[in-house]
Amino acid sequence: MSDILNLKISQVRRHNVVRLTEKKTQKRRVILLTNLRLRIDNYIEGLPDDEYLFTNRRHQQLSVNAVYKFFQTIARKMHRNDIGTHTLRKTFGYHYYQRTHDIGTLMMIFNHSSEAITKRYIGLNQDIILQQMATFSLGLDILVDTSQPH
């Protein structure tokens, strides 16, 4: 999150790709902006290049803590306690996988070191278990006489 919050307008103005180094892992990250180009251009119109991309009402850089509090406020309004700063990232990953079934590319997008980590991160393992258990049967249902009331 802090890597995105450190972006300046000059890094996205007239650029379709942003390159940054993740603070936490020191891994290089490339962010494709093509699909957001029009929205970004509208958002930054008239703003100076040296301003942060994400600011508060006083045009000061947003902090990770401020974003966290924002998500907590939204979660409270929705009567939810399972929403946090990683929710959007995990949700993106889950839906990307459901649409593409390409865990390898998703692993690279997330900069994870293994597919297993990515599957666990997006909750795929839990989904698979629930789906398997929903259709699993030992065939014991033939031993139960359902024609007689209990």
pLDDT digits 0-9 by tens, 113-148: 999 999 999 988 887 778 778 887 776 666 666 566
Give yes or no for a contact between 94 and 123, defined as CB atoms under 8 angstroms apart.
Answer: yes
Task: Return the DSSP state at 8.
Answer: B
Tell me the pLDDT of the chain averaged across its residues: 88
Percent over 90 (pLDDT), the chain: 60
Which pLDDT score is estimated for 128?
77
| Tokens read off for 136 | 């699993």
What distance lies between CA 28 and its chain's CA centroid?
Answer: 18
| Tokens read off for 8 | 């300046």
Question: Token match 């699993």: residue?
Answer: 136
Q: What is the mean pLDDT of residues 33-57?
A: 95
Which pLDDT score is estimated for 150?
57
Distances (CA, A) of 57 to 13, 60, 61, 64, 80: 21, 7, 10, 16, 26
Q: Tell me which residue of 115, 91, 95 sits closest to 105, measured CA to CA.
A: 115
Length of the chain: 150
Confidence of residue 149 (pLDDT cuts 50, 70, 90): low
Q: Which option is the CATH number for 1-81: 1.10.443.10, 2.40.50.100, 2.40.30.10, 3.30.930.10?
A: 1.10.443.10
